[in-house]
Amino acid sequence: MPNSLRLHELIFKKPAGTSRGVLHTKPSWLFTFQMKSGQELITEFPVIPGLSPEYKSHAQYEIALNAFLNDAVPFIESWAQTAYQQHAAWHNLLEKWQQFPSFIFGIEILVFSLRTEGKPVLFDSAFTQGLATIPINGLVWMDTQISMREQIQDKIAQGFKVVKLKIGAIQWAEELALIEEIRAHFSEEQITIRVDANGAFSPTRALEVLDQLKQLRVHSIEQPIQAGQLTQMASLCAKQPIPIALDEELIGVYDYNEKVSLLQQIRPQYIILKPSLHGGFSGTQEWIAIAESLGIDWWLTSALESAIGLNAIVQFGATYPLKLAQGFGTGGLYTNNFESNLSIQNGEMHWISAPHKD
């Protein structure tokens, strides 16, 4: 079978409430690459409509992706044999296509898969050897207060020690009450609370919210105000009632000097990195290096990829000495996902030798 590209609409088991509305499906494009041996490898090009900067429509995205593949595929075999980031052809590709981060993400997964000839272990680490696990946060989706309360109870019952609430969909007083309920039963040593605001608050309102969260010993807040308000975000980070993590603020920033300037100006306590939104694994490595040089901490988060992309993101993360709970998804969101070697047990990601379908 020759190389081929097809759309795979991932279907949510339950509608997923986000700051961009309720998702019932999510598109990923799957590219099948045939090795010289005849073996077939599959990679994923995932997007989130309304968030992924390169996506305007299915037709627009697929036309651009086909053009990208025409540029990239002739070099795949050579990139897999050496350090691809040192190739002139790789730098030419980045220069032309850096504003399509999901393209870089998908092609890098293909390079990693070629190196291992399709084996599930893309990066050897203590994690893939079964010698280490990775703590992750249990995600509570936006919904009614009753539903969010049930999600919180479910995550804690499953053994998650870090619970992350997406906020901004209902009245703040109702969301604050949920956080108060957690703290009434669990200390910060027992349960770490993170919140993700997705830019829900105005700069003046945000400071009041952060002060309230400080009283409840919340670990951090992601993107309290809309991206692009650099002066106001820098002011919030400097006052730091609780640590602030940049998320959407990083999307669409591709140039190295612009990344440095952004972090130097805002000086956040954390940045959150999503390889499919931040220039693939090479772009994520660059963000990490810059952040660490400035004393800024970070964690990785998946962005609703299928098991193909999630597998690569988790293994990539495991090559770092991870100090914080990561934001990896569980892989169990979809009715039509793929087999995976990843498993969640007691709030930690495990590598298992026998692949399974969640």
Catalytic residues, by residue number, are: 166, 274
Q: List the 162-166 sheet strands across, edge first.
A: 138-140, 162-166, 192-196, 220-222, 244-246, 270-273, 297-300
Q: Which two tokens stand for residue 22?
A: 């309720």
CA 278 to each of CA 52, 91, 249, 313: distance values in angstroms, whole numbers, following the listed order: 10, 16, 11, 12
Q: Could you tell me whether strands 244-246 and 270-273 are parallel, antiparallel, or unpaired per DSSP bridges?
A: parallel
Among candidate residues 258, 234, 313, 252, the one with its CA nearest the CA of residue 280 = 313
Cα 270 → chain centroid: 14
8-state DSSP, 92? H
C-alpha span between 270 and 281 (Å, rounded): 18
Question: Phi, psi (5° rounding) for residue 198?
Answer: 50, 40
